[in-house]
Amino acid sequence: MRDARTNIRDALYEEPGPITKRYTAVGTAISLAALAVLAAAVVRQFYINGQLAPRYWTIFFRWTTWRFLGQGLLGTLRAAAMAGVVTFILGFILMTGRICNYRILRLIATAIIDFVRGVPTLLFIYFFFLVLPQLGIRLDAFWKVTLPVGISACGVVAEVLRSGVNAVPIGQKEAAYSLGMRETGIFLKVVFPQAIRYVIPALISELVIVVKDTTFAYVVNFPDLMQNAKVLISNYDAMLSVYLVVAVIYILINFLLNRLSDTIAKQRPRTLAAAELKGPTA
């Protein structure tokens, strides 16, 4: 479909002319050259400091290294998935509080949202790691990561969900009212299913943040990718190589998540937005 405007860039900028195209080509060439120089400088620096020595890298030829990292990766994925579930449930509850008819509930929900959005994740972790045990509450290391990470993200999730709910055209509700449907049914069967489709890309962006926040697992000794990486580093004294490999793994996870988000975002307009764009709103 090259005929239609397929992305935001096409919609925001006019087709470049010959001069603009020349500038773009020259700019691209200069940037690439600068990047190459930079990369070479980095590698040279590593070489000078002996970071490229084989002993730092041969550990990645061993099966046990990968198995250990794989266990860590599994821990990261488990923690991120559970934190994602926690944050979605809490975010959903806060969002319903934020949009409900009772002023007092709205105020409470708004206050909680502002609080969790304002406090750094690490503070929540410390709360679960240091404060709760003093109160006699003992949790698994798994929950000491997933609960604080989930709580930390739920404020944003609540606001994202709310923006989706607000984006559903009023006519959808009116049609449901006129059928005699009740508020709860309308919300669950008409409004929310559409709202969630609008905000899936934003929710996945938040999931990326959740994945990154699970690296705080090292604080509570939960064996995630980061924690296992630290163990490798102290065993082999191979900081740079291990961190590089682990960084690449994190980038891959989040790259895949973002690709998923893009795929969904591209499908969305065909099912939802097109209908509303066609019909004028009275």
Partner 1 sequence: MEKKNKMQDQLPVIELKHVDKHYGQLHVLKDINLTVRRGEVVVIIGPSGSGKSTLCRTINRLETIDSGEILITGEPLPKEGKDLARLRARVGMVFQSFNLFAHKTILDNVTLGPTDVLRVPKAKAREEAMQLLKRVGVDSQAAKLPAKLSGGQQQRVAIARSLAMHPEAILFDEPTSALDPEMIGEVLEVMTELAQEGMTMVMVTHEMNFARRVADRVIFMDAGSIIEENSPDEFFDHPATQRAKDFLNSIKDH
Between 208 and 272, whose beta carbon lies closer to partner 1? 272
How far, in Å, are 36, 89, 161, 199 from residue 193 at the CA level? 47, 15, 11, 11
Query: How many CA atoms lie less than 13 Å away from 21 in the CB half-sphere?
Result: 5
> Taking a C-beta distance cutoff of 8 angstroms, is the pair 188, 28 a contact?
no
- Tokens 């999730």 label which residue? 157
- Measured from the CB of residue 202, what is the shortest distance to partner 1 in angstroms? 18
Nearer to partner 1, 59 or 195 (CB): 195
CB of 281 vs partner 1, minimal distance in Å: 6
Interface contacts to partner 1, rule CB under 8 A: 169, 171-172, 174-182, 185, 189-190, 193-194, 197, 270-272, 274-276, 278-282
CB of 282 to partner 1, least distance (A): 5
CB of 207 to partner 1, least distance (A): 22
* CB closer to partner 1 out of 163 and 258: 163
- For residue 202, the tally of other CB atoms under 10 A from its CB is 18
Name the residue nearer to partner 1 (CB basis): 32 or 275: 275
Closest C-alpha to 105, from 117, 116, 93: 93
Q: Which is nearer to partner 1, 190 or 211 (CB)?
A: 190
Q: In whole angstroms, how close is the CB of 172 to partner 1 at the nearest point? A: 6
150 in Cβ contact with 211 (< 8 Å): no
Q: Of 167 and 209, which has the nearer Cβ to partner 1? A: 167
CA distance 184 to 187: 5
Closest separation between CB of residue 161 and partner 1, Å? Answer: 16
Residues contacting residue 171 through CB under 8 Å, at least 6 positions apart? 281
Q: Please, are residues 125 and 216 in contact by the beta-carbon 8 Å criterion?
A: yes
CB 229 within 8 A of CB 246: yes
